[in-house]
Structures are given as structure tokens and as C-alpha cells.
Amino acid sequence: MLIPLSMILTGFLSIIYHIKTLKHYSLNFVYKDFKDAVLWIGNLLLAISIFTMAFFMLFAIYSLNEVDLSFEFIYMFIFCGIILLLGVTLILEERLLYRKYVFFKEQSRINKIDDISGHKGDNL
């Protein structure tokens, strides 16, 4: 009972996360800090819960009917596979955005050090 309720909350946080990070995928994006840890964690928890739910559904469907796989079970396998793929995509998307965030943060730190030391255009 608590898992579907938590998925509602994390789904809401994931929607807000995706609305706020939509501009990060633009080619002309100017780096700004994105420190909403609650949204990051909410999106990651939703992705993990979708992944585990789909995996357990696939396992349950397979264990129910090991001998005879009718077309209905094949359709359920395909549906659960799509949900599993959605969970994996959400996890990979968040990882990609986090790596981009860390890269830009490191570049910003290096640029600030270069500005202080005066090596703006020099090849070091």
C-alpha cells in the first residue's frame, strides 16, 4: 500500500524535476546551479521503483506460466519490457545530467582559478 503512495509522490517530484531540467538539454544553455536535491532523489527513487516493479512483474508473469506462453502472456511481457525500459531510461538520463552538472561545475571552478591567476588565454 505504501509503495504506490510513494510512487505518486516521487512521480510528482519527477515531473517537477523534468520541467526544471528541460532547459539543460538546450545547446545554448548557460550553466546555472541546480541544487534541488529533493527533486534529484525523487526522480531517482521513481526510476528505481519503476524498474523494480517491472522486473518483478516480468518475473511473476514468467513464473505463472512457464510451460505454455500464449499471446496474452507475450503481450504482457512486451508491456512490462517497455516499462522496464522506461525505468532504465530515467536512471540513465539522470546519470547523464548529473555528469554534465559535475563537468560544468568543475569547468567553472577552473575558469575562476584562471581568472584569478591571469592565465585567461595562455596555453598551459
Using the predicted structure, report yes or no on whether residue 46 has a pLDDT greater than 70: yes
Q: Which of 14-28, 82-96, 109-123 has the highest mean pLDDT?
A: 82-96
Using the predicted structure, report yes or no on whether residue 106 has a pLDDT greater than 60: yes
Using the predicted structure, report yes or no on whether residue 121 has a pLDDT greater than 70: no
CA angle 109, 99, 22 (to 5 degrees): 100
Using the predicted structure, report yes or no on whether residue 113 has a pLDDT greater than 80: no
pTM: 0.73
Share of the chain above pLDDT 90, in %: 6
43-67 CB burial, b ≥16 within 10 A, e <16: bbbbbebbbebbeebbeebeeeeee
Using the predicted structure, report yes or no on whether residue 85 has a pLDDT greater than 90: yes
Which of 5-14, 26-35, 42-51, 54-63 shows the lowest per-residue confidence on average (mean pLDDT)?
A: 26-35
**pLDDT higher at 34 or 52:** 52
